[in-house]
Amino acid sequence: MAHSLSPADASNATGPARYTLSAHGSARNPGMPLNLDRIESARVNLSAVERRAATLVTRRSVKKQWQAAWLIKAITCIDLTTLAGDDTPHRVARLCAKARAPLRSDLVSALKLDAAPTVGAVCVYPTMVRAAVRALGDSGIPVASVATGFPTGLVPLKLRLAEIRYAVDEGAREIDIVINRALVFAGEWQALHDEIAAMREACGDAHLKAILATGDLRNLRSVYRASWVAMMAGADFIKTSTGKEDVNATLPVGLTMVRALRDYGEETGYAIGFKPAGGLKSAKDAMAWLMLMKEEVGNRWLEPDLFRFGASSMLGDLERQIEHYVTGRYSAANRHPLA
């Protein structure tokens, strides 16, 4: 078979020896030349994926202190995001303050946490990066910037690359790029690969998170293929959505992407991060995604270097649920500081 993936094939294609995901190092994915066979042999069955996605969350339940821990874990994985036309440096500064202290200090004390949680990153438009960097100061929280003509990507490549370089120069340590959907529809995998590889190069040391805009891609096979192209082009993370498509992060899409990165890890030895984004509103959503990661790729993907939520409103519900755990009473939004 052309897509046979014996150990020998994998090491020929990529260099590193086979490995198991749990034993991976933290080396950055260097990418590889496009392997067209790997793309074309992709098989994803929608009904079966939906069935697994539906039962993933009914097979597991987390209660009490474990639930509290999971909710806190979710906070640490949030890319606290503002991507609105009315963003201003002040608004961004407020968001950053929340990013540094996402959970009320009395709750942190009541939970006797070893360390107060902070979010995974703050995600903004390129022109807001500087304000975010300033506001986050020495917190260690990275600033992520969308780039490449977000959210459509329909800007000349030269400008998209320039935008990446601008954001990096402003101090962004992560770049959330959008892929060119037209290339997916046309099956121009090489062109897609080359574009993303160029973006990766433009990122330099900043990590590249490739937004597939899965709501536009429509079918899961395309999602799986685009995931692989992005990873082969050197993406550090693959991300579902811009938040601007009609359909945002769904569990079947997430499952497909996670399976893709798992396959990529098994075949190359590189651990790729995953970021569902858009439409994530509730603590229940957070629990479902964490379960998906734990079940499909293990605890290593419950850490912010390999897993992020692209969300803004979800944090509020997490805070309320954590307060409920602490007090035993249902909480209200106005009891928690705004972002």
Partner 1 sequence: MTTVNDALKTMDYGPSPEANDHVLTWLAHGKRQFGHFIGGRFVPPSSGEHFTVTAPANGVRLAAVAQGNSKDVATAVAAARRAGKRWAALSGNARARYLYALARLLQKRERFFAVLESMDNGKPIRESRDIDIPLAARHFYHHAGWAELLSTEYADYGPVGVCGQIIPWNFPLLMLAWKVAPALAAGNTVVLKPAEFTPLTALAFAELCAEAGLPPGVVNIVTGDGRTGELLVTHAEVDKIAFTGSTEVGRAIRVATAGSGKKLSLELGGKSPFVVFDDADLDSAVEGVVDAIWFNQGQVCCAGSRLLVQESVAERFHRKLKARAAKLRVGDPLDKSTDIGAIVADVQLRRISALVEQGRREGNDCWQPDVALPNTGCFFPPTLFTGVAPASALAQEEIFGPVLVSTTFRTLDEAVALANNTRYGLAASIWSENLNVALDVAARVKAGVVWINSTNLFDAAAGFGGYRESGFGREGGREGLFEYLKLRQGTAVRAPRSAGAKRTLTTSPIATTAVAGEPALDRTAKLYIGGKQVRPDSGYSYSVLSAAGKPLGQAGLGNRKDIRNAVEAANAASGWSAYTAHNRAQVLYFLAENLEQRGDEFATRLRTLTGSTPRAAREEVARSIERIMFYAAMADKFDGAVHPTRSRNVTLAMPEPWGVLGIVCPDSAPLLSFVSLTLPAIAMGNRVVVVPSTSHALIATDFYQVLETSDVPGGVINLVTGDSQTLATTLAEHDDVAALWYCGTRDGLAMVERAAAGNLKATWRPPVENGDWSGPVAQGNTFLRQATQIKNIWVPYGD
User: How far is residue 157's CA from residue 155's CA, in Å, rounded to a whole number?
Assistant: 6
* 72 lies in the site for partner 1, by CB under 8 A: yes
Say if CB 170 and CB 130 are below 8 A apart: yes
Q: Which stretch binds partner 1 (CB under 8 A): 63-71, 155-163, 228-236, 310-318?
A: 63-71
Catalytic residue among 73, 79, 176, 317: 176
Structure tokens at 19: 């490995």
User: How far is residue 126's CA from residue 155's CA, in Å, rounded to a whole number?
Assistant: 15
φ, ψ dihedrals at 270, nearest 5°: -105, 135
Among 38, 130, 181, 259, binds partner 1 (CB under 8 A): 259
Longest dimension (CA), the chain: 60
CB of residue 109 vs partner 1: minimum separation in angstroms?
Answer: 12
Query: What are the strands, taking DSSP E only, across the chain?
Result: 78-81, 121-124, 143-146, 174-178, 207-211, 237-239, 273-275, 309-311
Structure tokens at 229: 């192209």
Distance of CA 284 to the CA centre of its chain: 18
Q: Which stretch binds partner 1 (CB under 8 A): 133-141, 268-276, 289-297, 305-313?
A: 289-297
Q: Are strands 273-275 and 121-124 parallel, antiparallel or unpaired?
A: unpaired
Nearer to partner 1, 69 or 247 (CB): 69
φ, ψ dihedrals at 11, nearest 5°: -75, -35
CB of residue 277 vs partner 1: minimum separation in angstroms?
Answer: 22
- Whether residue 244 lies in the annotated active site: no
* 104 lies in the site for partner 1, by CB under 8 A: no
Nearer to partner 1, 55 or 327 (CB): 55
- Spell out, one character per residue from 305 to 324, where the chain touches partner 1: x when CB under 8 A holds, - when not: --------------------
Determine how many CB atoms are found less than 10 A away from the CB of residue 298.
Answer: 13
CA dist 183 to 40, 137, 190, 225, 255, Å?
A: 15, 39, 9, 12, 23
* 284 lies in the site for partner 1, by CB under 8 A: no
* 231 lies in the site for partner 1, by CB under 8 A: no
User: How far is residue 8's CA from residue 6's CA, in Å, rounded to a whole number?
Assistant: 5
CB of residue 23 vs partner 1: minimum separation in angstroms?
Answer: 13
User: How far is residue 18's CA from residue 257's CA, in Å, rounded to a whole number?
Assistant: 21
Q: Which stretch binds partner 1 (CB under 8 A): 23-31, 50-58, 225-233, 270-278?
A: 50-58
Residues 169-228 that bind partner 1 (CB under 8 A): 219-221
Nearer to partner 1, 26 or 47 (CB): 47
Among 239, 294, 320, 336, binds partner 1 (CB under 8 A): 294
- Spell out, one character per residue from 29 to 48, where the chain touches partner 1: x when CB under 8 A holds, - when not: --------------xxxxxx
- In sequence order, the 6+-apart residues with CB closer than 8 A to the CB of 70 are 62, 286, 287, 290
Catalytic residue among 73, 209, 239, 294: 239
* 63 lies in the site for partner 1, by CB under 8 A: yes
Among 17, 23, 26, 64, binds partner 1 (CB under 8 A): 64
* 28 lies in the site for partner 1, by CB under 8 A: no
User: How far is residue 45's CA from residue 256's CA, in Å, rounded to a whole number?
Assistant: 10
Nearest to 197 by CA among 40, 41, 29: 29
- Whether residue 176 lies in the annotated active site: yes
Q: Which residues sit at the interface with partner 1, rule CB under 8 A?
A: 1, 4-6, 43-49, 51-52, 55, 58-70, 72-73, 111-114, 219-221, 259, 290, 294-295, 299, 302
- Which residues are known catalytic residues? 176, 239, 275
